[in-house]
Chain A
Amino acid sequence: MRKKIKIGIIDYDLGNQDSLYYFLKSLRYKVLISKDPKLLSSLDLIILPGVGAFPKAIESLEKSGMDKFIINWSKSNKPLVGICLGMQLLCSKSVEFVETKGLNLIPGNIVPIANDKWHIGWNNISFLKSTIKNISENDEFYFNHSYKYTGNDDYVITKTMFDNHFPSIIQKNKTIGIQFHPEKSQFSGKKLIHAIFKTLTDD
């Protein structure tokens, strides 16, 4: 019988946390939205969601003290997943609006997509590493961003083609960042979420 993974969604006043919560509930996970480090500490996996702009999000994390909790959690090699803006926050810095330091858990910077374009809609991913099982390059996922990760390929699991190839899933140890929205990618997203959770929590 599979272990019932307990998941915490970090509440930091920016992000589509409700849709993520009910999406995970529909997949029969135990889920909690919280900004209380004590509550979150008892869980198996933490998600940093995000729909918004980088500077406001970092400001909000710092204000609530959640930045320190996330850094300690990741440095203890506990499973952490950042989604969309949540992925970008895991990195060293971003130049969105104004240069802002990130949580620096995955080395690399967040820079604009070429020609200040937006990458909005459904696209494929191609694998550089085989960390995540059972996802095919025919699976399509929902992207909605105008900034992207740039950094060492050692941290890059998948890339996606849009003008040029850019990293769409990055990882360092048990911290994974996903540039797109698996919770909004229908069946492909459900498969991916299960596969990533399994990868991070199987010991």
Chain B
Amino acid sequence: MIKKRVIGVVTIKDNWVVQSFGYKKYLPIGSPECVIQNLDRWGADEILIQVIDRSIYSLGPDFKLLENIAELGISTPLVYGGGIRNCSDAVEVIKHGADRILIENILKNDLSELCEISLSLGTQAIIASVPVHMENQKIMLYDYLNKKSEIISKSFLDLLFDKTIISEILLIDKNGEGYPGSFDLRLIDKFPEIETSLIVFGGIQGNTLIHDILNHKNVSAIGVGNFLNYKEHSIQTIKSNMDLKYIRNPKYNNNKYIDLYEIL
């Protein structure tokens, strides 16, 4: 049976991993390599990297970062988002070691390029980043480049639900992001009934909240960011409080230095 995933979300700004609070305030945590190596060691089901200053300054993807991560020899699936401008960028990101890509601006601005990416990489590699928040009982779509929100349009929803383009949606609670236990469950409840799976992120902490989110049929994964960095082995801590029928058994990968040939 396919398991629901606990994804370690790593937000990077100015080459540092940062804690992000509601897309407004940022506090440094440490080096990306160190944080990512920890998540790999702790058995995260996926690691999602979002480099939030690449698109703002039109810098393109951070290939150097991807090279540094690849050199770590990590064996956890990697999703990369940040600065992907076109199909060529997307293909290079995968070549540099990511397994999937996270896109946001192309989604809104360049449908033909998005189709080209899908034709090259396959839809399974494409995740749409959708920052949202509730306002007057309506789901508002947040644009982090111009810092404005608008009601999520039908044409945008049609695009999100197009199975030939996108495989999963990263639904981010823009207001809850960074604040423990503040994810707004109405965002899932009011989100249209769809077949595309949701990865839910933004303020997810606490057993009851995690349980409630993972009980949703459309939710395939939760993303956890800041809170993973407060304690050692935090992935195991989260998983040890969850129903094991949903998730991969929490294991601490302490076998790094064992010669596998010895045990085979």
Contact = CB atoms under 8 A, between A and B. Distances in A.
Given A23-B73, A144-B77, A186-B75, A121 B163 contact: no
Given A146-B167, A183-B75, A118 B95 contact: no
Contacts of A17: 95
Contacts of A120: 2, 124, 167-168, 197, 220
B122 A16 contact: no
A186 B253 CA distance: 8
A116 B76 CA distance: 26
Interface string B222-264: 0000000000000000000000000011010101000011011
A19 B97 contact: yes
Contacts of A27: 260
A56 B116 CA distance: 11
Given A16-B97, A184-B75, A187-B253, A194 B124 contact: no
A118 B5 CA distance: 14
Interface string B54-74: 000000000000110011111
Contact of A123 (B1, B66, B95, B118): B1
Interface residues of B, number: 51
Given A14-B121, A122-B3, A186-B40, 4 more contacts: A2-B261, A26-B75, A27-B260, A198-B264
Contact of B95 (A16, A121, A187): A16
A52 B122 contact: yes
A145 interface: yes
Residue among A119, A134, A140 with the highest chain B CB neighbour number at 10 A:
A140
B73 A25 contact: yes
A121 B45 contact: yes
B221 interface: yes
A133 interface: yes
Residue among B99, B167, B249 with the highest chain A CB neighbour number at 10 A:
B99
Interface of A: 2, 13-19, 21-23, 25-27, 51-56, 85, 96-97, 115-124, 133-134, 138, 140, 142-146, 161-162, 181, 183-187, 189-191, 194-195, 198
Q: Main SS of the interface on chain A?
A: mixed
A161 B1 contact: yes
Contacts of A161: 1
A162 B100 contact: no
Contacts of B122: 51-54, 85, 96, 146
28 contacts: A13-B95, A14-B91, A15-B94, A17-B95, A18-B95, A19-B70, A22-B72, A51-B121, A52-B120, A52-B125, A53-B120, A96-B122, A118-B167, A118-B168, A119-B2, A120-B197, A122-B3, A124-B1, A140-B248, A144-B99, A144-B100, A144-B125, A184-B77, A186-B253, A187-B255, A190-B260, A191-B264, A194-B264
A193 B261 CA distance: 11
